[in-house]
């Protein structure tokens, strides 16, 4: 949500270059964060599982499932990051409909994968529900942001480049 405030303030100031620079820096920071968080998740999945179960629970029986889920998810932390940056940037620039449509896309993507995984009777496909939603909505968010950033430049009186 800091991105929404940042973009809103700079939109109000009329500084589209700062909005573009800030979104690029936010994406770069979150790409680095995604690699670090993903690595920590894969290395520490067993330790992290302990936070969600009571003492005495046989974690070794669930570890293969947790590892599968973690492997599926961490590969898509970058598209998830794009959603966070661009959804909030669009909202900060006064474009509320496009981020809301992105939320609908996430829902439909998850539903599609859930139905597909049930049809396939596949745990691995079920683990892909969130990553698939992140991927489709991340792509949508990038495309929507390109449209919004062009509109922002036009509204602020600059040529779209």
pLDDT given at position 37 = 97
Residue 112's domain spans which residues?
2-155
Query: pLDDT per residue over 12-67, tens digit each?
Result: 999 999 999 999 999 999 999 999 999 999 999 988 888 888 888 888 888 999 99
Query: pLDDT per residue over 44-57, tens digit each?
Result: 998 888 888 888 88
Residue 117 forms part of a structural domain = yes
pLDDT given at position 132 = 98
pLDDT given at position 158 = 63
Query: pLDDT per residue over 98-120, tens digit each?
Result: 999 999 999 999 999 999 999 99
Residue 131 forms part of a structural domain = yes
Residue 27 forms part of a structural domain = yes
Q: Count the domains in the chain.
A: 1
User: pLDDT at residue 160 above 60?
Assistant: no
Residue 148 forms part of a structural domain = yes
pLDDT: which is higher, 118 or 158 = 118
Residue 114 forms part of a structural domain = yes
Residue 139 forms part of a structural domain = yes
Residue 160 forms part of a structural domain = no
pTM confidence score? 0.90
The 3-class SS string of the chain reads CHHHHHHHHHHHHCCHHHHHHHHHHHHHHHHHHHHHHHHHHHHHHHHHHHHHCCCCCCHHHHHHHHHHHHHHHHCCHHHHHHHHHHHHHHHHCCCCHHHHHHHHHHHHHHHHHHHHHHHHCCHHHHHCHHHHHHHHHHHHHHHHHHHHHHHHHHHCCCCCC
């Amino acid at each position: 949500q800091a991105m929404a405030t940042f973009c809103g303030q700079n939109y109000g100031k009329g500084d589209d270059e700062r909005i573009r620079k800030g979104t690029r820096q936010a994406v770069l920071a979150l790409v680095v964060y995604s690699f670090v968080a993903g690595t920590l998740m894969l290395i520490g999945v067993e330790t992290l599982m302990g936070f969600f179960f009571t003492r005495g629970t046989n974690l070794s029986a669930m570890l293969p499932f947790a590892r599968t889920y973690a492997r599926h998810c961490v590969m898509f932390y970058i598209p998830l990051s794009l959603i966070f940056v661009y959804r909030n940037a669009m909202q900060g620039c006064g474009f509320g409909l496009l981020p809301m449509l992105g939320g609908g896309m996430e829902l439909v993507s998850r539903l599609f994968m859930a139905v597909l995984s049930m049809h396939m009777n596949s745990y691995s496909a079920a683990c892909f529900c969130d990553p698939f939603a992140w991927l489709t909505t991340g792509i949508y968010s990038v495309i929507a942001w390109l449209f919004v950033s062009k509109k922002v430049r036009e509204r602020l009186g600059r040529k779209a480049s």
